[in-house]
Amino acid sequence: MNISKEQQGALCSALAQLRLKADLILAPKYPHFAGKPYPLGRCKEIRDEVYRLLMQPQSDTEFPILNILKTTQQQPELRKVWGSLRDEFFQNAMVIDQWYIDVANDTVDANKPRVEIMPFAQSGFSQITSFKQFAHIARPYWQVELYRNTVCPALAPFLPIICVGKNQTSWLAAANDEMLKVAMHSEFKSPLEIIDTLPSPPAHIIHKWQTVLDKHAQISLLTQTGSAQAFCQQYRIEQRHLDSAFRDEIVIAYSHLPKGI
């Protein structure tokens, strides 16, 4: 798919207009993220809202250049992606053919342009391929301490990490499709690798989790006991990495937990 420099500039301008519309919707809903003002930290919400606006039929009537991003038999699919940007931070963006489109380019540094379009090969974007790589980015970017998931060991083969922020709020990571795929494609070897590397969480974090988990005694995946390592080995033997229905059970169990504890 060829995009000329002139088209690239027109696309940036049109997407910036959609981004302004997205900001009017999102800023009142998400004024802060971890104490930082919008748009900082809101790349997923912004990417998803701009994508929604882009896919509306009226978008390419208002901005005809956007029609080249719409999938046809002659044109490739515009895909939403999440991954690493230069292993410095996580980023939600879009990709079409060999082009990288970031409509939330200012969510780490608010002084940068809202929209950036460039050849994918020059973007520095890549898929995250291991939980060690995920941890390497998460610590400095999110400013968190990382621990092995000993509080819900039956979830640990899919969600092996407990993140603890500066305010001592904690959550399981990483609850997205991309990292669940890393767990399953590695046959739970990548989660086991990071579990063996990380320390156990401090007692006060465990206590907070136990208080919450006591309210979910009926959900066995949240309350089963044992070691995270043993569950990784068990799930590999049971070939749970091939079991999409079990993966869905894990996600449903996780969804009963608060976003932060």
Average pLDDT, the chain: 92
Q: How confident is the model at residue 6 (pLDDT cuts 50, 70, 90)?
A: confident
pLDDT at position 211 over 60: yes
**Tens of pLDDT along 25-75?**
999 999 988 778 999 989 999 999 999 999 988 887 888 998 888 866 566
Average pLDDT rounded to a whole number, residues 205-223: 93
pTM of the entire predicted model: 0.87
* Residue 252: exposure state from Cβ atoms within 10 A (0-12, 13-18, ≥19): exposed
Among 174, 179, 16, which Cα is nearest to 104's? 16
**Tens of pLDDT along 23-32?**
999 999 999 8
**Tens of pLDDT along 98-146?**
999 999 999 988 889 999 999 999 999 999 999 999 999 999 998 899 9
Q: What is the pLDDT of residue 7?
A: 86
Angle between helices 228-237 and 189-197 (to 10 degrees): 170
